[in-house]
Structure 1
Amino acid sequence: MDENLVLIWEKCLQFMRDNLNAAEDHSDLKKLENSFDLLFDKVKPLSLVNHNLTLLVPSDFYKEYIEDNYLSLLSAALKKYIGKGVKLWYSVMENKPVGKEAPITVNVKGNSTQTPKIQEALPIQKETNINPFVVPGIKKVNIESNLKADLSFDNFVEGESNKLAATVGKTIAKRPGATAFNPLFVHGGYGVGKTHLAQAIGLEVKNSCPDKVVLYQSSEKFIQDFIKAAKSQNKTDFQNYYQLVDVLIIDDIQFLSGKAATQDSFFHVFDYLHQNGKQIILTSDKAPADIMDIQERIVSRFKWGLTAEIKSPNFETRRQIIVDKLSRDGIVLTDDMLDFLATEVKTNVRELMGVINSVIAYSTVYKSDLSLELLKETINKIATTQKKTINIPYIQEVVCEYFGINRELLLSKSRKREVALPRQLAMYFAKELTNSTYTKIGEEMGGKDHSTVIYACDTIRDVSKIDKEIKKYIKDLKERINH
């Protein structure tokens, strides 16, 4: 990008920030400034040719919001730093795969025209480096798949909540890398069966194609491997290792959020595997567009294949899961007992399995015959034991897990957006869902002043009215905290 254009744009932003409408008090002005920064942080200058300035915006929402709220202020800034007669255009990027559809540029009067595609330059293919993981004369090395035998399709119960993902998964297992479903991006809430499905695909590939190299890896392990390789200056070895894989499964890919260097390496691994017909399977607790601080080029690639959501199982699926699980343990329940269990546990598969195991254990320890009364008694005891107390540490734990950061970073003084936003959301929920004072919340949030907590709460309330991303974070976190 032209350095001169960047400098001009920074001056325009500062001019607009300095001339925001005067607020009645200082805190209101801070709200305006924060909303302004959140909006324009994702707007970039693309080109300036013959007094035609093109801005790159993430979606039509940003274009429309700028025109409705900042057009006069922006026009004044452009006139000051570029001159009279400047024309403003927008290039709206919807994170679509390269070659699918060209972005549209729209001027301030609403006219639109097709523009050439903005294509991301792919790395030039060089001669293959000598791979330190391959022994001369041997085609493949023995890579441990990290698959668990019990997480197979035989033990995976299909239902309306996971039918699409499961059907596509079985298709992929027959022809890995040779279908249109590459990558397969599976997302859904906690404990709905994403990991089970991903592992089941890997196991099926190993059974039908023993020569295929399958690797299941958590995103945490992938990050640890990269950090270790970077410290020992073996990044090339790291990438070469992952490039040996025929089917790469990475669980909880959302935890790459905010880790720019690891994302760069993942990008090159992804491109190599995809271009060479290898299968990629990713799981996440969020849809691609909802993952925070992931490079746009990576989000775009997430969408190249199929994105499938797995939801919490419905009554029929929960009932079948119970039947399958208990039958493997030689336990048979009456219909009214099955209906009771399937009705009582509605959230996710993992919690359902926990309840089933508790019922079996209770029956075994106390040598009691299973009955509807025993089930009700056991469920009540589990509910009493597992009842959550929503307090500040618990809220911090949920927020940290959601954004993939540790508690020490959340409580630090870092002002980076990937830390500051989760911290503000934690403060907001601490005030909304507990009886804690602003001072108490500030103390629990790393010794912050009470005025900082007030500002954070007000900011989240105000920004959520205009920012769809923040609205989504609030909705997701509220469900998790209250779960």
Structure 2
Amino acid sequence: MREKWPEISENLKKMLKSGLFKVWIAPLHASVDEEGLHLVAPNAYVASRLESMMLTTLKEAAAPVLGLEPGQVSVCITAAGQEAEAPAQESKAPAEEPQVAVATPKVRPEPSAQAAPNLQQASLPLAAPVIFRSTQNWRYSFADFVVGPTNNMAVAAAQDVSRRHGCVRTLFVNSASGLGKTHLAQAVGRAINEEGGNARVGYLTAEEFASRFVTALRAQDIEGFKARFRELDVLLMEDVHFFQGKEKMQDMALAVVKNLQAKGGRAIFTSSFSPRELQRVDSQLVSHFCSGILTDMGRPTKDMRCDILGQKARSFQVLLPDSVCELLASRLNGDVRQMESCLNSLIFKARLLNCGLNLDLAMEVLSQYADVACGPDFSTILRLVCESYGLNERQLASKSRRKECVTGRNTAFYLARKHTEMTLEEIGEKFNRRHSTVIKGITSLERELSKQSTEGRRIARAVSLIERNAGLASARAM
């Protein structure tokens, strides 16, 4: 039954990223018999890591080949020469020392100096870019960003920014929530770090910038605050629409951006709104935001959604059948968070039931999610908001500043922007409001949703209930 290992190995290639497969799976020797799958690792360290990290993945890859459920598959992992390890160390200690250095970190300095690079390569540590002289692991990279017709310009510009001698020095990216702005910004930070050159990178949201500024004000350390930003070579700032209406914050942000651009630094700014939709933001600051490339990112196409689901499945180390991938891609037309949430739920349920991913299970999980293409119109959203907050449409459109009216109105702004193709002007007209008021309301609601306060959780539950009743997957539940 040795010929079954190539089939299992092919499944593992689909489930794992290529780097993980090369490091952990390719060096193995395997055999299959009635008792299960037997793997021989090159050393004890690899065997130990496989048992702790990939046992479930190995069982799921072997199950369809052996005609069993994952829970019925037996996997035995041993290290090469494990049984003869003790006598070999007595008679040939010098020859065996490098192998011991990989398996056991506490060895003499001389051999460990040679073995340490192998250990570092095997454990695949993430790069640690610099953010204000502290270390941080970037979560995303360009390698796992799915590129297509709806985002190819943004990705190309971001890749150019990440190059030390690239043409693009400033990039402004806007998109709806969950379409990859954070992924793109962090991918730039990671690429710059991996390129070397000791570029000093700052990554933060506009709200974090404002919080640091307030802290500096209270500590009477404005010069220190400015100095920390003057040290940067690259600034990655997200959600710059937060600056709307905050004049002092805008003045400080303008000083930071002007100084960075004057010395030839690079910058990426992201926002949920395009520059022309930003209201009550200093024209000079907007001008500096827009001094380079402006681009947006749209919802992924079906082919892109298939690629995204396949990539997510590999990151979760599971085998996603083509039929299941096709079903999910055709039904999940929302943002990437929605797809990741659905896939997460599907994998969790499959493991709970101890079975593989299949169409029946996918249909069960999809019943909890939305087909955004068949989502509700504005009148449906309005009706559900009124029901949720105990209001009527006349109250939502009124000038009332009562808390429930304001929150309900902002919720309607937020959901209409998220789930319909209406422009900000069209949404405002429904409530006799200017589009600047719509932007302010959406920003206010998003800020509350991001908090772990009682009010934030209350609004999150209301939004989740409205989306569920409208047949939409709640982005907040991911």
> Where on the TM-score scale, by shorter chain, does this alignment land: which range?
0.5 to 0.7
The question of 1:286 aligning with 2:268 is answered no
Which is worse superposed, 261-270 or 151-160? 151-160
The 2-side partners of 1:260 and 1:394 are apart by 35
Amino acid at match of 1:352: M
Identity %: 25
2:297 aligned residue:
310
Instruction: Tell me, yes or no, if the aligned pair for 1:188 and 1:310 is still in contact at 8 Å.
Output: yes
2:4 aligned residue:
none
Instruction: Tell me, yes or no, if the aligned pair for 2:203 and 2:236 is still in contact at 8 Å.
Output: yes
Amino acid at match of 2:150: S
Instruction: Tell me, yes or no, if the aligned pair for 1:431 and 1:438 is still in contact at 8 Å.
Output: no
How many residues are matched? 292
The 1-side partners of 2:185 and 2:143 are apart by 13
2:286 aligned residue:
299
- Structure 1 unaligned blocks of 5 or more: 1-140, 396-426, 448-458
Partner of residue 306 from structure 2, selected from 299, 313, 319: 319
Partner of residue 444 from structure 1, selected from 396, 404, 416: 404
1:157 aligned residue:
146
Instruction: Tell me, yes or no, if the aligned pair for 1:145 and 1:214 is still in contact at 8 Å.
Output: no
1:297-321 deviation per Cα after TM superposition (whole angstroms, max 9, x unaligned): 1111111101110111111111101
Instruction: Tell me, yes or no, if the aligned pair for 2:213 and 2:225 is still in contact at 8 Å.
Output: yes
The question of 1:198 aligning with 2:185 is answered yes
Secondary structure in structure 2 of the residue aligned to 1:333: coil
Secondary structure in structure 2 of the residue aligned to 1:151: coil
C-alpha displacement at 1:285, in angstroms?
Answer: 0.4
The question of 1:366 aligning with 2:353 is answered yes
C-alpha displacement at 1:331, in angstroms?
Answer: 2.3
The 1-side partners of 2:261 and 2:306 are apart by 39
Instruction: Tell me, yes or no, if the aligned pair for 2:244 and 2:280 is still in contact at 8 Å.
Output: yes
TM-score normalised to structure 2 length? 0.54
Secondary structure in structure 2 of the residue aligned to 1:309: strand
Q: Name the structure where helix makes up a greater proportion of residues.
A: 2
Amino acid at match of 1:372: L
Instruction: Tell me, yes or no, if the aligned pair for 1:215 and 1:248 is still in contact at 8 Å.
Output: yes
2:336 aligned residue:
349
The 1-side partners of 2:355 and 2:190 are apart by 38
Instruction: Tell me, yes or no, if the aligned pair for 1:463 and 1:470 is still in contact at 8 Å.
Output: no
C-alpha displacement at 1:203, in angstroms?
Answer: 0.4
The 2-side partners of 1:256 and 1:440 are apart by 26
1:185 aligned residue:
172
Cα 1:300–1:343 change in 2 (3 A) is same
Instruction: Tell me, yes or no, if the aligned pair for 1:215 and 1:247 is still in contact at 8 Å.
Output: yes
Instruction: Tell me, yes or no, if the aligned pair for 1:253 and 1:282 is still in contact at 8 Å.
Output: yes
Cα 1:476–1:250 change in 2 (3 A) is closer
Instruction: Tell me, yes or no, if the aligned pair for 2:131 and 2:203 is still in contact at 8 Å.
Output: no
The question of 1:143 aligning with 2:132 is answered yes
C-alpha displacement at 1:251, in angstroms?
Answer: 1.0
1:337 aligned residue:
324
Amino acid at match of 1:391: V
Amino acid at match of 1:186: V
1:40-94 deviation per Cα after TM superposition (whole angstroms, max 9, x unaligned): xxxxxxxxxxxxxxxxxxxxxxxxxxxxxxxxxxxxxxxxxxxxxxxxxxxxxxx
Instruction: Tell me, yes or no, if the aligned pair for 2:138 and 2:190 is still in contact at 8 Å.
Output: yes
1:363-383 deviation per Cα after TM superposition (whole angstroms, max 9, x unaligned): 111112211111000111456
Cα 1:154–1:226 change in 2 (3 A) is same
The 1-side partners of 2:435 and 2:226 are apart by 36
Amino acid at match of 1:161: T
* Superposition pairs of residues 128-139 of structure 1, within 5 angstroms: none
1:243 aligned residue:
230
Instruction: Tell me, yes or no, if the aligned pair for 1:226 and 1:262 is still in contact at 8 Å.
Output: yes
1:56 aligned residue:
none
C-alpha displacement at 1:330, in angstroms?
Answer: 3.2
2:251 aligned residue:
264
The 2-side partners of 1:470 and 1:265 are apart by 24
1:264-301 deviation per Cα after TM superposition (whole angstroms, max 9, x unaligned): 01100000000001111111000111112111111111
The 1-side partners of 2:177 and 2:197 are apart by 32
C-alpha displacement at 1:145, in angstroms?
Answer: 6.1
